[in-house]
Amino acid sequence: MRKSIKEGFGLLKELDLNILELLNEDSRRSHQEIAEILGVEEAAVAAAIARMTEDGTIIKYTAAINWDKTGDERVEALIEVRVTPQREEGFDKIAQRIYRHEEVESVYLMSGAYDLMVMVRGRTLREVSLFVSQKLACLDNVLSTATHFVLKKYKFDGVILEKQERPERLVVSP
């Protein structure tokens, strides 16, 4: 599958990378199933997963859920945030202040016209709007925000959310 690569402060072995790819595809896979796919001992897989969990490489096992199918109305928004970086701390301090809010799903440092991209989730449009106006925009070092509400998801976490209809083929006659 893959070869060893130097990543961060350590060396990820080929086995580790292959295990991570398999778990990323389906986190429900058992140690035994992964071992069979990779042709290694189950104990080696268990040890690698334990080590990667301990060192923070594996941070969470989760299910990708199409919330539209549940009837549970949720509002998601992407917020572009321009900030003034702090001396000796850069963007890290303001990012920490933002990601501590329960509405915040993700925070990314970006290149381009804005500095941080914040993904938030709320029960209503008003709830998300109040978060932006009362909690986010008023933080020290936040220069501006631009909020983009998600209207529809077509693909999420690598999965197409709508079943694709096979186009009806036209009959070709001689």
pLDDT tier for residue 9 given thresholds of 50, 70 and 90: very low
Q: Please give the pLDDT value at position 4.
A: 44
pLDDT tier for residue 72 given thresholds of 50, 70 and 90: confident
Tell whether 107 and 32 lie within a shared domain.
no
Assess if residue 148 is contained within a domain: yes
75: helix, coil or strand?
A: strand
| Residue, of 44 and 71, whose pLDDT is higher | 44
Tell whether 102 and 77 lie within a shared domain.
yes
pLDDT tier for residue 77 given thresholds of 50, 70 and 90: very high
Tell whether 71 and 149 lie within a shared domain.
yes
Model pLDDT for residues 85-103, shown as the tens digit of each residue: 999 999 999 999 999 999 9
Cα–Cα distance measured from residue 124 to residue 3, given in angstroms and rounded to the nearest whole number = 46
Tell whether 20 and 82 lie within a shared domain.
no
Cα–Cα distance measured from residue 118 to residue 136, given in angstroms and rounded to the nearest whole number = 10
Q: How many domains does the structure of the chain reveal? A: 2
pLDDT tier for residue 109 given thresholds of 50, 70 and 90: very high
